[in-house]
């Protein structure tokens, strides 16, 4: 294991971390780990950084400490081999997910699927979702002692989907994803893929009632975002109002750049993460003012194109999970949706915008355009909460001989 580059250049890594705002404790862990690696390398049979990490796997470390070691060693590897400084992203030191554990024949099936669907032009996010689910399916079979496609039986497949007492264990979507992979791989192994497809049991599609903001909750949210005496930051208020008044997805808010705001034309321009289609929305004064306040009074002065940044150094763009936590903070401050199972993400704001527009008689095609749907019919998912028009469908019971006692309080 050649560590000459690390030996000569590791001070640059430490200097970067100190100036980028990493804590002294975290920077110190990097410094200590590098010194230990350099001191021990000559006496240990290490060929790569994965070997360094495996040393810690063999000693009694807690799962939390082991994960910290993995992150640090992975970041050191990226700096040493590729010149990359820490950015909070996965280092690739140890493969994650079911795919890395699959037998060669199962891996080949997933590889063929990915290649075939990429050539067909399927979205990478869809390929990733389907291949990940198929990998977990194959891993379940592998853990049952099957490592070849031709050895898969219906008896082995059924326990993946159904418990011994008949309870459905996997969702309808899970079956759909596994099926998509097997169908795409029919040219690779026609007979076997068709056989396994026939083993997939029918699954019930469960549709849950969609929670929506009540008028009172909506007002509580708006009051909370306007109340400057609570703990919400300017960033949180800007993100909250952006989500509330535009219905943007969390992933789109997270990836917005400074250039996404056209101050001259009062427009928001983004490329949607889900559909990869452009979307242009009006920048209202309510939203624009809160974003301006954040930019002018709170946003760190760093060279980063992302609009909304983390609030602690090293400053970088927020992820979708960070955006979800902003939504949760707003609802906590508003004192709403605190029961177990309540929806707290910004998708409920998107749902609220759609149902409000529907209730006000805005055509579905216009609403689809605002929400960035590529298929106008997508807005139909929000019809179940369009209470204004649903009430118009109610039938009068005045002609039926129903006693008022039926409706009396007990």
Signed CA dihedral, 109, 115, 120, 122: sign only: positive
- The whole domain housing 76 covers 4-82
Q: Please tell me whether residues 309 and 229 are part of one structural domain.
A: yes
Q: How many domains does the chain have?
A: 3
Tokens of 291: 């974003």
Q: Please tell me whether residues 72 and 166 are part of one structural domain.
A: no
Within a domain: 357: yes
Please report which helix (H) or strand (E) contains residue 251, including its range. helix 250-255
Q: Please tell me whether residues 42 and 139 are part of one structural domain.
A: no
HEC assignment per residue over 257-312: EHHHEECCCCEEEEECCCCCCEEEEECCHHHHHHHHHHHHHCCCCCCCCECCECCC
| pTM attached to this predicted model | 0.69
Paired strand residues for 281 = 268
User: What is the rounded CA–CA span in Å between residue 116 and residue 331?
Assistant: 44
Please report which helix (H) or strand (E) contains residue 42, including its range. none
Per-position DSSP letters for 3-35, written without gaps between them: -HHHHHHHHHHHHHHHHHT--HHHHHHHHHHHH
Q: What is the pLDDT along the chain (410 residues), one digit of tens a residue?
A: 899 999 999 999 999 999 888 889 999 999 999 999 999 988 898 999 989 988 888 887 787 888 889 889 999 999 999 999 987 776 667 666 899 899 999 999 999 999 999 999 998 889 999 999 999 999 999 999 999 999 999 999 999 999 999 999 999 999 999 999 999 999 999 999 999 999 999 999 876 666 788 899 999 999 999 999 999 999 999 999 999 999 999 999 999 999 999 999 999 999 998 888 899 999 999 999 999 999 999 999 988 999 999 988 788 899 888 999 999 999 999 999 998 888 889 999 998 898 888 888 888 888 888 888 877 666 666 665 545 555 555 666 666 666 655 555 54
Q: Please tell me whether residues 277 and 171 are part of one structural domain.
A: no
Q: Please tell me whether residues 182 and 220 are part of one structural domain.
A: no
Q: Please tell me whether residues 263 and 378 are part of one structural domain.
A: yes
User: What is the rounded CA–CA span in Å between residue 306 and residue 191?
Assistant: 50
> Which residues are known catalytic residues?
249, 274, 347, 350, 373, 382
User: What is the rounded CA–CA span in Å between residue 263 and residue 159?
Assistant: 57
Longest dimension (CA), the chain: 93
Q: Please tell me whether residues 243 and 341 are part of one structural domain.
A: yes
Q: Please tell me whether residues 130 and 277 are part of one structural domain.
A: no
CATH number assigned to the domain comprising residue 259: 1.10.443.10
Q: Of 53, 82, 111, at which residue does a domain stop?
A: 82
């Amino acid at each position: 294991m050649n560590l000459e580059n690390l030996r000569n250049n590791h001070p640059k890594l430490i200097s970067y971390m100190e100036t980028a705002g990493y804590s002294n404790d975290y920077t110190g862990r990097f410094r200590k780990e590098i010194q230990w690696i350099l001191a021990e390398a000559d006496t240990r049979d290490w060929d790569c950084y994965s070997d360094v990490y495996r040393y810690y796997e063999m000693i009694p470390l807690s799962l939390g400490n082991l994960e910290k070691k993995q992150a640090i060693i992975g970041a050191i590897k990226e700096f040493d081999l590729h010149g990359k400084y820490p950015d909070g992203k996965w280092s690739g030191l140890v493969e994650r997910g079911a795919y890395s554990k699959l037998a060669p024949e199962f891996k080949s099936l997933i590889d063929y699927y990915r290649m075939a669907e990429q050539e067909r032009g399927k979205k990478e996010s869809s390929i990733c979702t389907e291949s990940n689910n198929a990998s977990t399916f194959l891993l379940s079979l592998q853990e049952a002692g099957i490592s070849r496609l031709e050895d898969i039986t219906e008896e082995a497949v059924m326990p993946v989907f159904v418990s011994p007492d008949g309870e459905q264990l996997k969702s309808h979507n899970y079956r759909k994803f596994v099926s998509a992979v097997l169908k795409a791989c029919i040219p690779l192994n026609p007979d076997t893929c068709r056989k396994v497809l026939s083993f997939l049991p029918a699954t019930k599609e469960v549709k849950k009632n969609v929670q929506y903001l009540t008028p009172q909750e909506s007002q509580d949210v708006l009051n909370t975002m306007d109340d400057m005496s609570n703990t919400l930051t300017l960033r949180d208020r800007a993100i909250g109002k952006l989500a509330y008044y535009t219905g943007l997805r969390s992933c789109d808010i997270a990836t917005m750049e400074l250039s996404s705001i056209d101050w001259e034309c009062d427009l928001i321009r983004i490329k949607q993460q889900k559909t990869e289609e452009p979307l242009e929305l009006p920048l209202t004064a309510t939203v624009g003012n809160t974003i301006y306040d954040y930019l002018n009074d709170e946003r760190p002065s760093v060279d980063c194109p992302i609009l909304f940044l983390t609030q602690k150094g090293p400053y970088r763009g927020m992820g979708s999970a960070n955006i979800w936590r902003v939504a949760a903070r707003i609802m906590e401050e508003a004192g709403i949706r605190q029961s177990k199972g309540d929806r707290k993400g910004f998708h409920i704001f998107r749902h609220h915008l759609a149902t409000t527009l529907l209730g006000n008689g805005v055509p579905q095609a216009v609403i689809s355009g605002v929400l960035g749907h590529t298929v106008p019919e997508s807005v139909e998912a929000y019809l179940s909460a369009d209470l204004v028009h649903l009430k118009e469908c109610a039938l009068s019971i005045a002609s039926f001989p129903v006693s008022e006692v039926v409706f009396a309080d007990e």
